[in-house]
Structure 1
């Protein structure tokens, strides 16, 4: 019983950490560039991408949450030189997430283990306008589009993400844990689906 309580406490702490991290990550100020770019992207052609089984990806050495490196590794290690690294946007309504996939003989594949239950297929927008440039340190690289450094995602409703972040901060400042604060915010704003809510629910399902 004690072990179960400890495990549940650890899970709640981890879920709270994820909720806070994602809320902060997606709460950047809205801009006209973001709105215009999202509208432009949603008008581009889409492809259907397939996720191979997670255990196959892990066995092949693919790393969770590192899609750009995974795809670069696949291209570099493909003896037949048939793999093509494609940058673009994973449609995860109501946001689009900067993502990398590979195209092999007309088949589109996501090589990044999700570690959470997600559909085996999803819609993806290839974006030939993305370029990767080295940072000032000469080591790290960042994605750019039209000279603008890309965020991790583009949002259809940026005001929702700002409101969620502010609500979480206020509740935690009152002494509430991140997990309990997220539950309250989720109930209050639950009609507006977000990446934060989906990630938390995915983890809960997996556990």
Structure 2
């Protein structure tokens, strides 16, 4: 392996490790009755199949990795044919619903967001017409709300499992393990058991 490839692999491991840290923290928020009520409501909504174009095409179109809300907002705002409609809803991921944005392009559902980690070319998605975007107080960001309440990044069927996985991830990193390796260790242990649970 040459030095350039080694450096590229190291950068990718660092990016995946940073993503693992963000995901572990974002998925481990305190469970509430509100979350479970919204989850029960959302899973009754209609589902659609979304297609993800090849990664190279998305990157050539200046789509940003793992930034779906901005990508879709930008696509709608800059589409000269006005065929693109930014739709926010929920990506179905096992027993979790992940807040996600896609584009309805003249009746075709498209995910415009390249991913750091491997992702399927098609997936189930639940459009949620109750989600709205509001400008932050300083006008620098936009936040998702549903029926007047700020949304977390996911709705979880088994929130306690995410908290347990986050705590183990933190423990492994405190012991000196890299975020990339800690992610793999948690995935191979607690993650295996978690994926055996009943999906949505």
TM superposition score category, shorter chain reference: 0.7 to 0.9
Higher mean displacement: 33-42 or 6-15: 6-15
Take 1:59 and 1:2, find their aligned partners in 2: how far apart are those partners?
26
Change (3 A) 1:44 1:172: same
Take 1:70 and 1:8, find their aligned partners in 2: how far apart are those partners?
26
**Secondary structure in 1 matching 2:71:** helix
TM (normalized to structure 2)?
0.84
**Secondary structure in 1 matching 2:63:** coil
Equivalence for 2:86: 85
Structure 2 unaligned blocks of 5 or more: none
Matched, 1:44 2:65: no
Equivalence for 1:105: 106
Equivalence for 1:117: 118
Take 1:37 and 1:77, find their aligned partners in 2: how far apart are those partners?
32
The 5 A counterparts of 1:38-187 are 38-187=39-188
Take 1:172 and 1:22, find their aligned partners in 2: how far apart are those partners?
15
**Residue deviations 1:37-56, cap 9 Å, x none?**
11111110011111111111
Higher mean displacement: 76-85 or 86-95: 76-85
Matched, 1:193 2:195: yes
Change (3 A) 1:106 1:163: same
Change (3 A) 1:7 1:55: closer
Verify the 8 A CA contact 2:96 2:157 in the aligned structure 1.
yes
Superposition CA RMSD, Å:
2.4
Change (3 A) 1:159 1:6: same
**Residue deviations 1:89-108, cap 9 Å, x none?**
11112211111111122211
**Residue deviations 1:165-194, cap 9 Å, x none?**
111222333344434444443333122139
Change (3 A) 1:64 1:184: closer
TM (normalized to structure 1)?
0.82
**Residue deviations 1:5-41, cap 9 Å, x none?**
7776666555443333321121100011111111111
Change (3 A) 1:83 1:187: closer
**Secondary structure in 1 matching 2:194:** coil
Structure 1 unaligned blocks of 5 or more: 195-207
